[in-house]
């Protein structure tokens, strides 16, 4: 059983109606001293108030106080999911080459089937990546940019991401995410992730992505300057979690057209909240627009088990979008799953192709490919 920390002391001053907290520490003579707390003159009457408590004896501005002051227990310090440290902070493992962080799945991160959504998974991947840069000491003033990148007005932009999910976590589950980076070609960087269930330590999802640099003012792609390369080089780990050709993740995604798409949803408008600090739509937001043109029965009866997004250009708030989808079955007689109950609406696992484009001129923004598994199939995706 974990040892509970010593309680803090809070003092309520009647005139200001404020609670001030101090951290207990041992003073000379074995007394328990609570350091002086100062409201900085922001009390209800505008007066500066200093409170000190020594072994329960309270002094207000240096004078002993008898009435109108009472001590109440302070709230416990922020706890973490494993009882040690701040849940917002991760840690480095494997010689600072891998960054690890834990997250609790919140109620607002689950969908109708009470499990985390693909958008939730992508948000957690993004958060872990940004915290990796911050905790490494490289962070400049940009969104995951290093100091040398900030000096040169450069930002990272994702060109492709492939996510494979074996099991979606439920509300209240705790996940553990590892992430690391490696070089990708001459002027790119690859970032990989592993998501594990904290309790079982089983891998439940994995992802890989490719990134390039762009000038935040000209919006043109840039080579990686040597100064930036030297910054990130000590953190490179030559390890791939998903092979380039695994599950067609590295293949070119075919372009959908009005004649090849089975479902088209028009009039999708980016909101202000869809924008990120790089002044374009955040890469996670496209998942929601892709699902807008997926048939409802697919969303109800299937798990989205894998998705590859190929980002073609930026999207701004002023642009109206269209979402296109085409669905096909993926199983064959030789590899088909066992027959499903007659009441099931699932006939086979599915493969889908998607396109997000500008509505006015048809310019491509994102191509995507996805795989879907029937929720009634027995296997890793089945929830207890």
Euclidean distance between CA atoms 209 and 163, whole angstroms: 9
Sequential DSSP letters for 224-277 = --HHHHHHHGGGB----SS-TTGGGTTSPPPPP-TTT-SEEEEEE---GGGB-T
Q: What is the DSSP letter of 164?
A: E
Q: pLDDT at residue 358 above 90? A: yes
* Residue whose pair of structure tokens reads 């001030």 in the numeric block: 20
Q: Is 282 a catalytic residue?
A: no
Q: pLDDT at residue 248 above 80? A: no
Q: At what angle do helices 118-136 and 285-292 cross, to 10 degrees?
A: 170
The rounded mean pLDDT for the chain is: 80
pLDDT at residue 239, as a whole number: 94
Tell me how many degrees the CA angle 263-350-248 measures, rounded to the nearest 5.
105
Non-local (6+) Cβ contacts of 59 within 8 A are 51, 52, 53, 65
pLDDT at residue 143, as a whole number: 77
Name the residue with higher pLDDT: 383 or 101. Answer: 101
* Residue whose pair of structure tokens reads 């690859």 in the numeric block: 190
Q: Is 45 a catalytic residue?
A: no
Q: Is 39 a catalytic residue?
A: no
Per the structure block, which two tokens stand in for 157?
Answer: 């932009």
Catalytic residue among 37, 131, 132, 278: 278
Q: pLDDT at residue 27 above 60? A: no
Cα 28 to Cα 7, 44, 91, 143, 296, distances in angstroms? 20, 35, 37, 48, 70
Non-local (6+) Cβ contacts of 60 within 8 A are 13, 49, 50, 51, 69
Averaged pLDDT for residues 346-375: 94
What region does 152 belong to: left with phi over 0, alpha with psi -120 to 50, or beta?
alpha
**Of the spans 59-68, 84-93, 346-355, which averages the highest pLDDT?**
346-355
Of all residues in the chain, the percent with pLDDT exceeding 70 is: 69
Catalytic residue among 37, 162, 280, 374: 280
Confidence of residue 129 (pLDDT cuts 50, 70, 90): very high
Q: What is the set of domains in the chain, with CATH numbers?
A: 87-251 (3.10.129.10), 255-330+347-377 (3.10.129.10)
Catalytic residue among 315, 346, 354, 374: 315
Confidence of residue 244 (pLDDT cuts 50, 70, 90): low
Euclidean distance between CA atoms 79 and 102, whole angstroms: 13
**Poorest-confidence range of 165-179, 187-201, 248-262, 276-290?**
248-262
Euclidean distance between CA atoms 292 and 78, whole angstroms: 39
Euclidean distance between CA atoms 222 and 303, whole angstroms: 38
């Amino acid at each position: 059983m974990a040892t509970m920390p010593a309680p803090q002391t809070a003092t309520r001053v009647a005139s200001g109606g404020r609670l001030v907290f101090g951290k207990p520490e041992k003073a000379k003579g074995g007394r328990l001293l609570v350091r002086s707390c100062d409201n900085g003159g922001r009390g209800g009457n505008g007066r500066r108030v200093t409170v000190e408590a020594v072994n329960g004896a309270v002094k207000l501005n240096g004078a002993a106080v008898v009435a109108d002051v009472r001590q109440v227990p302070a709230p416990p310090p922020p706890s973490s999911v494993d009882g040690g440290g701040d849940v917002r902070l991760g840690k480095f493992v494997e010689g600072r080459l891998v960054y690890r962080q834990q997250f609790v799945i919140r109620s607002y991160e689950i969908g109708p089937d009470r499990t985390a959504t693909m958008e939730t998974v992508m948000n957690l991947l993004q958060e872990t990546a940004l915290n990796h840069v911050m905790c490494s000491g490289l962070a400049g003033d940009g969104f995951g940019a290093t100091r040398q990148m900030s000096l040169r007005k450069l930002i990272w932009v994702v060109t492709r991401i492939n996510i494979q999910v074996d099991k979606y976590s439920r509300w209240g589950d705790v996940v553990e995410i590892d992430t690391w980076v490696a070089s990708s070609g001459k002027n790119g960087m690859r970032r990989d992730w592993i998501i594990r269930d904290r309790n079982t330590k089983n891998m439940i999802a994995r992802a890989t992505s490719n990134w390039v640099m762009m000038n935040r003012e000209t919006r043109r792609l840039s080579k990686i300057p040597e100064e930036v390369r030297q910054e990130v080089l000590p953190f490179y780990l030559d390890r791939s979690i998903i092979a380039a050709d695994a599950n067609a993740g590295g293949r070119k995604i075919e372009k959908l057209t009005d004649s090849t798409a089975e479902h088209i949803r028009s009039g999708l408008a980016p909101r202000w909240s869809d924008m990120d600090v790089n002044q374009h739509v955040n890469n996670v937001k496209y998942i929601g627009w892709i699902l807008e043109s997926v048939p409802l029965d697919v969303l109800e009866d299937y798990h989205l088990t894998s998705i590859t997004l190929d980002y073609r250009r930026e999207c701004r708030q002023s642009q109206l979008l269209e979402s296109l989808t085409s669905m096909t079955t993926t199983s064959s007689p030789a590899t088909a799953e066992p027959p499903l109950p007659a009441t099931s609406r699932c006939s086979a696992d599915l493969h889908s192709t998607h396109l997000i484009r500008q509505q006015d001129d048809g310019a491509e923004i994102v191509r995507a490919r996805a795989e879907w598994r029937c929720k009634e199939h027995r296997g890793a995706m089945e929830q207890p």
